[in-house]
Structure 1
Amino acid sequence: MKVVILAGGYATRLHPITLDQPKPLLKVADKPIVEHITDKLQGLEVVDEIFVVTNQKFFLHFLEWNNSYNSRKRIKIINDLTTSNEDRLGSIGDINFVIQQENLKNDLLIIGGDNLFEDNLNNFINHFQQHGSTILVNDVKSLERAKLFGIVTRDDNNIITEFIEKPENPSSTLSATLIYAIKKDHIFYINQTIQSGFSDRAGDFIKHLSQNESVSALTLNGRWFDIGTLELLNEANEVYQNEN
């Protein structure tokens, strides 16, 4: 299984602290966010290679981080060649870029580089191996907060029956995280999502995939942070530092 960590965004909502520093390299409890992710990946036997896709602006930042990070898995930093928020490829574009450049034909584990989570992913990977393409979801416990996320409805077998991106009137509080395990037989749906004229959001891929295939939505264990604002970054820092 190959891992694609998405780190190609420009984090404009976190300016000015992300003007010269990519969001996944911001520190939470004295460790870069991306390192919290890659540390967990070291324990997954099924993973044999990790790709971190970033942009031209922050490519050297990630090369420097990778050179100083002691990983048991091979990590390769991919430059998507974009230089600004205006010409960014978006989540789906970056996933497709890595697939095409590296000629990937494997099962994929896709993780947003700003997703901070406590789950060790073992149960998630086991479920994927038994049931096929699976995403992790988190109960945000508030219909008002649910308006900010891609919201999932699932049946009694955890199969996604509906996926709506940032609904005005959410029918569920189950939010999709950006943690996906995708069967190699389903990879072509990524390019198909782009060709179909959907937006560049990763959630549109899951919506498209779940309309055509059975996709499981598994509730993650422990806390999850989608680091999109300074407030969430500070909240995550407080939680992680208190636990340490």
Structure 2
Amino acid sequence: MDALILAAGYATRLYPLTKNFPKPLLKVGGRSILDRLVDDLDQIAEIDRIIVVSNDTFYQHFVDWKTKSGSPKEILLLNDGTTNNNNRLGAVKDILFTIEKLHEVKDLLVLAGDNVVDFSFGEFIRYAISKNRSCICCHHEPSVPALQKTGVLEADNDFKVIKLHEKPENPPSHWAVPPFYVYMKKDFPLIKTSVDNGCKPDAPGNLAGWLSSQTDVYAWPMTGSRYDIGDLKSYEAVDAIFTNKA
């Protein structure tokens, strides 16, 4: 399996911190978000290669990062060619860009490069392999206002996805959906079809929602917590949490 880390955004809500610097390389608890993701992937036997997709503006930052990375796995950097927030491809098109650029891509673990977690993705990968289906993650969110600001899962008793609801006014469950996915290679043609049929490219959850309308997709309840870094306040809060854990 390959791992794809989406790192081509411009993080405008974190300006001025990210005006000239990519969010995935911001340090949390003394270590960059990207390094923390790679540290976990290094420990997962099923992952053969780590792919990081960046934009042209920040690409050199990732080149510099790679030269200092001590990862034992192959790391491949891709430049999607975009230069600002107005001409960005969006997460869904960056996934498709990666698949089309690298013809030999295997089943694909896709992770947002701006989230920090306190668990390993190894169990999620093994869950997806056991299902032999594309899969998403989910976690219990008790707050309805929080659910109204994120993707929400509607699933059957076996956690097969019935529908994903984006920022619903009346959430159908308390299962929030973070930006972590496994896409099986057999579903890659459907990813291109989704884009061709108008799947909105900005949010990666749009692809998972569309895919679940075409084929069976399963959800894995996460065994730990994830921390989303969306603005300066959340960045400072997450940095404090992981600094205290160190």
TM range (shorter): over 0.9
CA contact (8 A) 2:116 2:226 kept: yes
Unmatched runs of 5 consecutive residues or more in structure 2:
none
Deviation of 1:104 (Å): 3.6
Find the aligned partners of 2:188 and 2:5 in 1 and give their Cα distance.
Answer: 16
Deviation of 1:25 (Å): 0.5
* One-letter amino acid matched to 1:241: T
Runs of 4+ in 1 over 6 A off after TM superposition: none
TM-score when scaled to structure 2?
0.96
Unmatched runs of 5 consecutive residues or more in structure 1:
none
Q: In the comparison of the two structures, how many residue pairs are matched?
A: 244
Find the aligned partners of 1:112 and 1:210 in 2 and give their Cα distance.
Answer: 19
Q: Which residue of 1 is the match for residue 232 of structure 2?
A: 230
Deviation of 1:105 (Å): 4.1
| Pair 1:104–1:204, CA change in 2 (3 A) | farther
Within the alignment, does 1:16 sit opposite 2:16 as a pair? yes
Q: Which residue of 2 is the match for residue 123 of structure 1?
A: 123
CA contact (8 A) 1:14 1:230 kept: yes
Deviation of 1:168 (Å): 2.1
CA contact (8 A) 2:109 2:125 kept: no
- Identity among equivalent positions (%) equals 33
TM-score when scaled to structure 1?
0.97
Deviation of 1:145 (Å): 0.5
Residue from 230, 241, 244 that aligns with 2:243: 241
Matching of residues 100-115 of structure 1 within 5 Å: 100-115=100-115
CA contact (8 A) 1:24 1:114 kept: yes
Residue from 162, 181, 203 that aligns with 2:205: 203
Summarize deviations over 1:103-141 as a string: whole Å, max 9, x none.
144100000001211121222111111102111112222
Find the aligned partners of 1:121 and 1:185 in 2 and give their Cα distance.
Answer: 21
Matching of residues 87-236 of structure 1 within 5 Å: 87-131=87-131, 132-200=133-201, 201-236=203-238
Find the aligned partners of 1:154 and 1:85 in 2 and give their Cα distance.
Answer: 34
RMSD: 1.1
Deviation of 1:169 (Å): 2.1
Q: Which residue of 2 is the match for residue 63 of structure 1?
A: 63
